[in-house]
Chains A and B, each alone.
Chain A
Amino acid sequence: MKEGHSWEGNWKGRLYARVREHGYDSLTAFAEARPTLPLVELAQELGGDDVNAVQVFSGLVAEAERSNRLTRLVRSQLVRELWESLPNGWPAVLDDEARMEVAIAFGSWSAFTPVTHEERARQVMAVLLAKPPPSGWRPLGPDDELLLTLLPDETV
C-alpha cells in the first residue's frame, strides 16, 4: 500500500528501457500485442511497480500523435475499458445496474481520451446506448468492425 516510486527520477527513460527489454521498439507495439489488457495490468506487465498506467497512456498518446493514429488509440482504449468493466461483454439488458457498469466504463474512457477526440467519444457513447450492440459484444481490438464504424480513422 505504499506510494509507488513510479514518478521518481527519469521515468520516461525507464519506460522506454522497459519497452526495449520486452523486445519492442515502441510502446504502441507492446500495447497492441496485448489489446484487451486493462491499462493498469498493461503497465504492470511492462514495468511492475516502476511504471504506472498514466505514464504508459501518456507515452501511447505521444506516439499516436507522431504517427497520426490518435483515433486508433482512442478505440484501443475503449476496448481496454470494456474488458475491465464488462468482462462478460455488453449486457443483455441495460437495467440500472448494468447501465451503471457501462457508465463507469465510459467515464473512465472519457478521462483517458485526448482532448481532440472528446466530442467524438461522447457521440460514440450516445450511439452505443441508443442502439446497443449485441449482447456479449466484446471487441478484441481497435480493428473491431463495430468500433471502426463508430469511430473510423480520419482519411488524411
Chain B
Amino acid sequence: MRADSSRVWWTCLLLVLALLSNACAPLMPPPGRGMRLHYTPHGVVGPAFAEGPSTAPGPGGAEGTAWRSALAAHLAFRGAVGDVSGSTRRISGELSRLRASHRGIAGKAVGIFVRYVEYGERQLRWIDAELAAATRLATTASEVDDPDMQLALLRLAGPRLEAAMMGSLLLAVWTDFLLLTDAMLSQHLGGVETLYVKMERWQKMMEPSMNALSSLEPGQVEAAARDVPALVGHLTDEFAALGEAARKGAEVLQNVLVLKETIEALTLMSALRFSLPAVRPAAPAMFGMGLMAGPNGVMMGTRVVVSAEWVEMMRQLVRAGVISLPAVSAAVRIQAGQVMMAESNQDLPQGVRDALGDGPEVRGMRVTGRAGAGMAEPPEHHVLPREFREWFEQRGFTGEMSIDQFCVRLEQSSHQALHGGGNWRLGRMWPGEWNQMIMKALRDAETVAGRPLTPSVILKIVAREMKRHNLPVSFVPWRGR
C-alpha cells in the first residue's frame, strides 16, 4: 500500500512537472521520467502493481491480455486523476491567497470582488468532489479481479474525470482573471467599476460551460467540451485586452513598468500564459499543419504542446472507452494556444488524433454508446435490483457507487428473458429470473462468508452472473424515473 501511494505521488508530481514545464515553453523530460511512466500494456509495470492481486491471471492467453489492458487503463486513469488533482491543488492555493489579498481583490470596494473568488471556490469544490468520486471508483476497480468489471468501473468514472479535466482548465483561466484583477486592483491600475462589470461578464460567459460540465450529463459534458476551446480562446482575447487597457490607463511610465512586472510575475494557472503572445489568425493554413505528433509528444513547431507521457496516458483512456476523444482533443487544442482554441470546429490533424487513440473501433464504441443512428435508446435496467436498494446501500453502494449507476441497456428480447417473461424458459423448476437469482447468489454468499459482502465482492459476483446471461459488462447511469 505504501509503495502504491508513493508511486501515485510520483506520478502526480511528474505530471504536474510536465504541466508546469509545458507552460514554460521548452519541455525537457525530467531525468528518469521516461523510465518511470509506462502506460503501454507491454511496458514495465511499477512494482506496486506487479505485486498486484495474488490471484492475477498469468500473462498468457486472452485472459492475460484483458488483464493487461485493464491494468494499463487503470494506471492511465490514476495518472490522469493525479494530473488534474495537481492543477486543482495549485488553483486552490492561489484562491486562498486571493482571499487573503486585502490590498487587492479581497479588500477593494468593500469586498464586492470576493464573490468572484467564491465562484472559483465553488467550482473547485465540485471538481475536487468529482475527482474524489473518480478515485474511489478506481480504487474499487482495483479490488475487483474481473478485468471486464474493472474496465466497466473505470468507464463509469470516466465522465467524472472528463468533467473535472475540462472544468479545471476553465477554472485555471478564471483564476488567471482573478490574479490579474487582483494585481490591477492592488496597483491601482484599473477602474473598480470597469473591472467589476468585466468580471461579471466573464463569469456569465463561463457559467453555461461550467454548469454543463458539473451536471455530468454525458451529452452536456460532451457539448461543453467541444465549446471550451473556443471559449478559452475568447477569454484569452479578453485577457489580453484587459492587460492592454490597463497599459493604456497607466499614464506614468512608472505605472507601466509596474504593470509589466506585475503581469510577468503572475504565475498564470492556465494555458493563457503561452497563448498570450497572440498568434493572430493571419495564416489559417498553418494551424492544423502546425500540430504534429512526435516522439516528444504533440508539437507545434518546436514547442511541446503536450508531453508524450500525457499523450500515451490519454491514448490508453480513449482506447479503453474511459474518456472521449472530443474531450481530449479539446484539452490539446487549449494547450496548443489561442489559434487552435478559437477554431472550435477544426479537428486536430489525423496524426495527432491517431496518437490520442482515434480508431475505427473507438468511433464505433461512441456510436453505439449514444442513440446510434437516431434510434431510441433501449430501456435501462438496474443490474442491482431496486427493490433491494437499502441492502446495497448498507454495503457501500451510495453516491458514485449508487445502484442507479449500474444499469444496462437491454433490447426487448434480453429484457424479457432476464425477467422470465416472453415464455423463455425450458425447465420449470428453475425460473432463472435475474433479480431473484442475483439476490440469491449474493445473500447465500454472505451467509457462507459470515460477514457483509464488500462492493468489490458484490461486483465480482455480479460480473459472473452478467456473463452467464450474456449481458455486456458495461454500465450506464439510470436516467428514467
Contact = CB atoms under 8 A, between A and B. Distances in A.
Determine the interface band of chain A, counting residues with CB < 8 A from chain B.
35 or more
Interface in B226-266: none
A3 B410 contact: yes
A52 interface: yes
Main secondary structure of the interface of B (DSSP, over half): helix
A108 B465 contact: yes
Q: Which of B365, B428, B430 has the most CB of A within 10 A?
A: B430
A4 B418 CA distance: 13
A61 B448 contact: no
Interface in A9-50: 12, 39-40, 49
B444 A107 contact: yes
B455 interface: no
A44 to B, nearest CB: 10
A97 to B, nearest CB: 9
A107 B439 CA distance: 9
Contacts of B4: none
A129 B448 contact: yes
A115 B441 contact: no
A82 interface: no
B428 A107 contact: no
A25 B325 CA distance: 51
A125 B426 contact: no
Main secondary structure of the interface of A (DSSP, over half): helix
Contacts of B449: 99-100, 103
A6 B414 CA distance: 8
A1 interface: yes
A2 B472 contact: yes
A61 B430 contact: yes
A22 B468 CA distance: 21
Given A108-B441, A108-B461, A65 B428 contact: yes
25 contacts: A3-B471, A4-B414, A7-B470, A8-B413, A52-B468, A52-B469, A53-B470, A54-B417, A57-B432, A57-B468, A58-B432, A62-B425, A64-B427, A84-B464, A96-B451, A99-B450, A103-B445, A103-B446, A104-B445, A107-B446, A108-B461, A111-B438, A111-B440, A114-B430, A125-B448
Interface of B: 148, 365, 368, 408-411, 413-414, 416-417, 424-432, 437-438, 440-451, 457, 460-461, 464-465, 467-474
Given A1-B365, A53-B468, 14 more contacts: A7-B416, A8-B413, A52-B468, A52-B469, A53-B467, A54-B417, A61-B426, A62-B427, A104-B464, A106-B448, A107-B448, A110-B444, A111-B437, A111-B441
